Amino acid sequence: MATLQEPGAGTTSGTATGADAATALPIPGEWGVVPRISGARAMRRMARAVTSNGKAAAGAILLLIFILVGLFPGVIAHDDPNAEIYKPNLGVSTAHLLGTTAFGQDMFAQVIYGTRPVLEIAFGAGLGCTIIAMLIGVAAAYLGGVWDSVLNLLTDVLLVIPAFPLLIVIGSYLGGATTGVMIAVITCISWSYTARQLRSQALSLRNREFLEAARVRGERPIYIIVVEIIPTMTSLLVASFLTNALYAVLFSSSLQFIGLGDPSVTSWGTMLYWAENQEALQTGQALWIIVPGLCIVALGAAFALLNYAFDEIGNPALRPVRSMRGKRVKPAN
């Protein structure tokens, strides 16, 4: 479930106050006044950050491991995750590292093969949300006027309608969601927060000289948006991708857990569904619940750690300090 609320979750207040609060209060994930940095330079800066910040490095390594496992599950697990060929409810052994399920499937193989669908949803919905939010947020800020009001209202409405119950209702009407449908539905429902962030970021840029210069040069709006505005938001876009990917992991696992996923696909959420269905806790098969859940937490933590580290990089005030108490009492020379 989406337990991670975006830090400092903006405001629910309407258009005017929302933008005010966003600029008045430094919200993590919101880069305040951004010097004009080209996309490539921002990317290089982030790459350096990953190697120098402990949290970012931990997150990056975790994510890399999951990506490798998701790409080459067959290298690690040798069993077919769905084949019900073993004795049910076997304990941990060298043949079955995590034992077998109540259906006689190798649990280790299930966990390994379950990685890919989760990553597909995380990256699909993370990218989808970021792209939609970018289009809508930047368009609203750049076009202004009626367009801004309409797009902003749409964003605000979607922001307050509880997402998970809506996902459940849609999932129920669809009779379960395949990976593709899951990505589409999660994307449609959860782009709004990012759109609001990107809009206020774009608004703060609107009167900057380099945009003025582009306008005076006679560049077309589409050029200004794509070449001048969007590259300055690279770091914010990366943060938004990470947050949305994390949400997608939690949302999709929760939906799969309550049986609204694709039952034929092995993923961590569906494993939990079957485990709960077979009363794994009561029958001493606790690993069936613990391991897929741990995987969800680890993948979510990878995204969250990366995001948190980027927050610290963007907002130096949040960086850990040794101690400020000593400084305070020392008289200024």
Partner 1 sequence: MRFVLRRIGFFLLTLWVALTLNFLLPRMMPGNPALAVIGKFKAGVPPQALKALDAEFGLNAHQSLLSQYGSYLSDVATGKWGVSLTTEPGNSVARMVLDALPWTLGLVGITTVMAFILGTFIGIIGAWRRGGRLDSILPPIFVIMTVIPYFWLGLLLILFFGIKLHWLPYIESYNFTLTPALDWTFISNVLEHAVLPGVTLLVTTIGTWILTMRNTMITTLAEDYVRMARAKGLPGWRIMMDYAARNAILPNLTGFAMSLGFVVGGAILIEEVFNYQGLGYMLLQAVNNEDYPLMQALFLLITVAVLVAILFSDIATAILDPRTRGAR
| Site for partner 1, residues 288 to 317, rule: CB under 8 A | 289-290, 293, 296-297, 300-301, 303-305, 308, 317
Binding mask 34-63 for partner 1 (x = CB under 8 A): ---------------------x--------
Distance, in Å, from the CA atom of 209 to the CA atom of 206, rounded to the nearest integer, reads: 9
Chain residues 140-159 in contact with partner 1, contact rule CB under 8 A: 153, 156-157, 159
Near partner 1 in 63-122, by CB under 8 A: none
Q: Is 329 in the site for partner 1 (CB under 8 A)?
A: no
CB of 212 to partner 1, least distance (A): 26
Strand-pairing partners, residue 106, are: 100
E strands in the chain? none
Question: 172 to 231, contacts with partner 1 by CB under 8 A?
Answer: 172-175
Examine residue 331 and tell whether it contacts partner 1 (CB under 8 A). Answer: no
Nearer to partner 1, 173 or 222 (CB): 173
Q: Which is nearer to partner 1, 12 or 93 (CB)?
A: 12
Instruction: Count residues near partner 1 (CB under 8 A).
Output: 74
Closer residue to partner 1, CB minimum distance, 108 or 303 = 303
Report the nearest approach of partner 1 to the CB of residue 58 (Å).
10
Residues numbered 230 to 269 that lie near partner 1 (CB under 8 A) are 246, 250, 253-254, 257-260
Q: Which residues face 100 on adjacent strands?
A: 106
Rounded to whole angstroms, the Cα distance separating 106 from 85 reads 8
User: 214 or 250: whose CB is closer to partner 1?
Assistant: 250
Q: How far apart are CA 144 and CA 268, in angstroms?
A: 44
Name which of 241, 279, 271 is nearest 253 in CA terms: 271
Phi-psi region of 275 (alpha: psi -120 to 50; beta: other; left: phi over 0): alpha
Q: Is 286 in the site for partner 1 (CB under 8 A)?
A: yes
- CB-based contact 49:307 (threshold 8 Å): no
How far, in Å, are 177, 179, 200 from residue 194 at the CA level? 24, 23, 10
Tell me if residue 100 falls in helix, strand or coil. strand
Select from 76, 127, 135, 318 the one that contacts partner 1 (CB under 8 A): 318
Closest approach, Cβ 78 to partner 1, in A, equals: 28
In the structure encoding, which two tokens stand for residue 109, read together?
């193989």
187: its two tokens: 């994307």
Answer for which of 67, 89, 164, 188 binds partner 1 (CB under 8 A) is 164
Given a contact cutoff of 8 angstroms between Cβ atoms, the answer to whether 135 and 191 are in contact is no
